[in-house]
């Protein structure tokens, strides 16, 4: 699909829409300008795209029919789940000449939970099922679906898998990939690939499933999945603590891992400037905030006595108060108290947005180098961008921080807006230097140039070849993840890097 063939006459437009309606039913081909506009805006409301129509198929066969039709008619297709991608992975490229020929394929009608096998510990779902409903269904069956992140009330399973979403429980349960045993995928040529395995050991051939997971709709459209359920913990102990200094996080984390092993189910690091907007908005911190704080969960199973657990935790932490690792800590033993502590963490993005926003970097660095990375980056900020206010928080346990950077009050809350690209570059260069990832849990989406600037050309070459195997014409989510075809139109104004 080349940008040279992307014009479309009004006559062609009407004919294509009629042919799509013949296939899906007119109700499922949405041409209402308002609805198209809403679905063409990314979740961070930064890039307004356009599209020919929204399609809402009801079956994998209809998805297949759409892809065959798109291929024949020189249309491109953007698969869209809950449209919660923060990197433009599910919305059209603004101003792209391809937009007149873009179909947004929404999976929302294919949202059934098809079954739970309690003995196998698996749930079979359609791709449009909303994550929160899947979590609830698992709990009702006495099991846990552990993938959990802010957008879970809107995000769909298909999108979660396409983006290989992360979240707060990765330290214990891994990314979306690890919690999925099988998928059904419609290929660009309309063939349906059945990889709906529900076994935990399967070495019968290459691992195709994990190639589609994390490919953000560029290699195929995920239409069904077999999810791996975990044992449901009986409860959790949640701790909000202030650290003596940044480096203390290492000792605290290794102590907890050693002490509690798989009970450590979340471990978040929060810097003071990230928490301050939450406090300013009226929330009360349970302890005096220090420069660096942590929030962590220790889960326990049915067999355990929560009080004995809490007691042993207090014993394990007490030397850390003595040696200055910890300054203060609040321990929540009821779920209500735990939720109150988590609210402080969960409200950071909203409070920060209200207070002027910031430059967002979704990066990871090996845990063992994370403190050095923060220190070195902060030094560069002081000399190269003294206006900058780091508002760091995120998943220390996974080495994944939301390395978000606002501007100091003196410079005005929106000062950062003129410096986004240069700051992204500075941060990404440091990430690469420390062996980290410039797209840790949110995906690549429109950040193609970031990958082109930071990745080994050999890896990019192989990615393009793989895209060529699965979608030779480039009809799936063009201009996302990796440039394919080579001449795919890129919005020069897209400052995602």
* Segment 465 to 484, residues that bind a second copy, using CB under 8 A: 465-466, 469-470, 481-482
At its nearest, how many Å lie between a second copy and the CB of residue 191? 6
At its nearest, how many Å lie between a second copy and the CB of residue 34? 32
What's 48's DSSP letter? B
Indicate which single residue of 380, 417, 419, 455 sits in contact with a second copy (rule: CB under 8 A).
Answer: 455
Segment near a second copy (CB under 8 A); pick from 60-68, 97-105, 189-197, 406-414: 189-197
At its nearest, how many Å lie between a second copy and the CB of residue 402? 11
The CA distance from 56 to 80, in Å, is 10
Question: What would you measure as the largest C-alpha separation in the chain, in angstroms?
Answer: 77
- Specify the residue, 76 or 463, whose C-beta has the smaller distance to a second copy: 463
**Quick one: residue 484, left, alpha or beta (phi over 0 = left, psi -120 to 50 = alpha)?**
beta
**Quick one: residue 88, left, alpha or beta (phi over 0 = left, psi -120 to 50 = alpha)?**
left
**Residue 337: burial class (beta carbons within 10 Å; 0-12, 13-18, 19+):** middle
The CA distance from 473 to 49, in Å, is 22
- Specify the residue, 100 or 141, whose C-beta has the smaller distance to a second copy: 141
- How many residues make up the chain in this entry? 497
What residues from 84 to 143 belong to the interface with a second copy (CB under 8 A)? 117-122, 142
- Bridge partners (DSSP) of residue 359 are 405
Compute CA distances 370 → 135, 365, 376, 441, 484, whole Å: 31, 6, 10, 16, 34
- Specify the residue, 103 or 157, whose C-beta has the smaller distance to a second copy: 157
Segment near a second copy (CB under 8 A); pick from 61-69, 70-78, 171-179, 331-339: 171-179
- Specify the residue, 365 or 391, whose C-beta has the smaller distance to a second copy: 365
**Contact between 198 and a second copy per CB under 8 A:** yes
What's 8's DSSP letter? -
Segment near a second copy (CB under 8 A); pick from 30-38, 149-157, 194-202, 340-348: 194-202
**Contact between 170 and a second copy per CB under 8 A:** yes
What residues from 246 to 285 belong to the interface with a second copy (CB under 8 A)? 250, 253-254, 257-263
Contact indicator for 225, 158 with CB cutoff of 8 Å:
yes
**Contact between 438 and a second copy per CB under 8 A:** yes
Segment near a second copy (CB under 8 A); pick from 41-49, 106-114, 285-293, 456-464: 456-464
Indicate which single residue of 58, 97, 174, 356 sits in contact with a second copy (rule: CB under 8 A).
Answer: 174
What residues from 408 to 427 belong to the interface with a second copy (CB under 8 A)? none
Give the count of residues interacting with a second copy (CB under 8 A). 99
Indicate which single residue of 443, 474, 478, 479 sits in contact with a second copy (rule: CB under 8 A).
Answer: 443
- Specify the residue, 211 or 279, whose C-beta has the smaller distance to a second copy: 211
Residue with structure tokens 């998805």? 63
- Specify the residue, 416 or 484, whose C-beta has the smaller distance to a second copy: 484
At its nearest, how many Å lie between a second copy and the CB of residue 372? 11
Indicate which single residue of 22, 384, 459, 487 sits in contact with a second copy (rule: CB under 8 A).
Answer: 459
Segment near a second copy (CB under 8 A); pick from 57-65, 104-112, 130-138, 228-236: 228-236
Rounded to the nearest 10 degrees, what angle do helices 248-260 and 367-384 cross at? 160
What residues from 355 to 384 belong to the interface with a second copy (CB under 8 A)? 364-369
What residues from 38 to 77 belong to the interface with a second copy (CB under 8 A)? none
**Contact between 441 and a second copy per CB under 8 A:** yes
**Contact between 177 and a second copy per CB under 8 A:** yes
SS3 269: strand
**Contact between 406 and a second copy per CB under 8 A:** no
In our burial notation (b when 16+ CB lie closer than 10 A, e otherwise), range 356-389 reads bbbbbbbbbbebeebbebbeebeeebeeebeebb
Contact indicator for 239, 269 with CB cutoff of 8 Å:
no
Segment near a second copy (CB under 8 A); pick from 17-25, 76-84, 337-345, 395-403: 395-403
Segment near a second copy (CB under 8 A); pick from 30-38, 50-58, 305-313, 335-343: 305-313
At its nearest, how many Å lie between a second copy and the CB of residue 175? 7
DSSP assignments along 131-186, one per residue: HHHHHHHHHHTTEE-----GGGGT-BHHHHHHTT---TTHHHH--GGGGEEEEEEE
**φ and ψ at 170, to 5 degrees?**
-65, -35
The CA distance from 489 to 97, in Å, is 7
Among 135, 156, 197, 215, smallest CA distance to 482 is for 215
**Contact between 310 and a second copy per CB under 8 A:** no
């Amino acid at each position: 699909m080349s940008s040279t063939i992307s014009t479309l006459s009004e006559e062609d437009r009407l004919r294509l829409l009629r042919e799509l309606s013949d296939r899906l039913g007119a109700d499922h081909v949405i041409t209402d300008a308002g609805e198209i506009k809403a679905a063409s805006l990314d979740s961070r409301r930064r890039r307004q795209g356009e599209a020919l129509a929204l399609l809402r198929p009801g079956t994998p066969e209809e998805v297949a029919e759409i892809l065959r039709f798109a291929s024949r008619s020189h249309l491109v297709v953007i698969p869209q789940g809950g449209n919660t991608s923060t990197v433009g992975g599910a919305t059209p490229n603004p101003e792209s000449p391809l937009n007149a020929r873009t179909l947004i394929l929404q999976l929302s009608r294919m949202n059934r939970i098809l079954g739970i096998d309690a003995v196998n510990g698996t749930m079979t779902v359609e791709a449009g099922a909303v994550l929160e409903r899947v979590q609830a269904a698992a709990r009702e069956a006495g099991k846990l679906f552990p993938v959990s992140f802010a957008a879970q009330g809107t995000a769909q399973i298909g999108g979660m898998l396409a983006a290989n979403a992360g979240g707060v429980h990765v330290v214990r349960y891994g990314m979306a990939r690890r919690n999925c045993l099988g998928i059904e995928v419609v290929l660009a040529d309309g063939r349906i690939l059945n990889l709906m395995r529900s076994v935990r050991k399967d070495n019968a051939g290459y691992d195709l499933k994990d190639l589609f997971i994390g490919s953000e709709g560029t290699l195929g459209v995920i239409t069904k999945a077999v999810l791996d359920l975990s044992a449901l913990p009986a409860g959790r102990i949640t701790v909000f603590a202030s650290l003596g200094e940044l480096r203390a996080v290492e000792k605290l984390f290794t102590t907890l891992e050693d002490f509690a092993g798989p009970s450590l189910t979340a471990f978040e690091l929060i810097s003071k400037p990230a928490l301050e907007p939450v406090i300013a908005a009226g929330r009360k911190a349970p302890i005096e905030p220090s420069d660096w704080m942590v929030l962590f969960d220790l889960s326990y199973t049915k067999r355990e006595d929560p009080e004995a657990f809490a007691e042993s935790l207090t014993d394990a932490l007490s030397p850390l108060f003595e040696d200055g690792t910890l300054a203060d800590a609040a321990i929540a033993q009821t779920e209500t108290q735990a939720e109150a502590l988590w609210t402080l963490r969960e409200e950071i993005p909203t409070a920060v947005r209200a207070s002027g926003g910031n430059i967002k970097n979704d990066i990871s660095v090996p845990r063992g180098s994370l403190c050095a990375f923060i220190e070195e980056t902060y030094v560069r900020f002081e000399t190269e961008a003294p206006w900058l206010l780091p508002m760091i928080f995120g998943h220390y346990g996974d080495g994944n921080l939301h390395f978000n950077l606002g501007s100091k009050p003196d410079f005005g809350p929106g000062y950062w807006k003129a410096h986004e690209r240069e700051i992204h570059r500075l941060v990404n260069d440091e990430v690469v230097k420390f062996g980290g990832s410039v797209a840790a849990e949110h995906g690549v989406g429109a950040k193609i140039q970031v990958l082109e600037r930071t990745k080994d050309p050999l890896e990019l070459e192989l990615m393009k070849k793989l895209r060529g195997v699965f979608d030779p014409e480039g009809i799936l989510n063009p201009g996302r993840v990796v440039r394919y075809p080579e001449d795919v139109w890129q919005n020069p104004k897209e400052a995602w890097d």
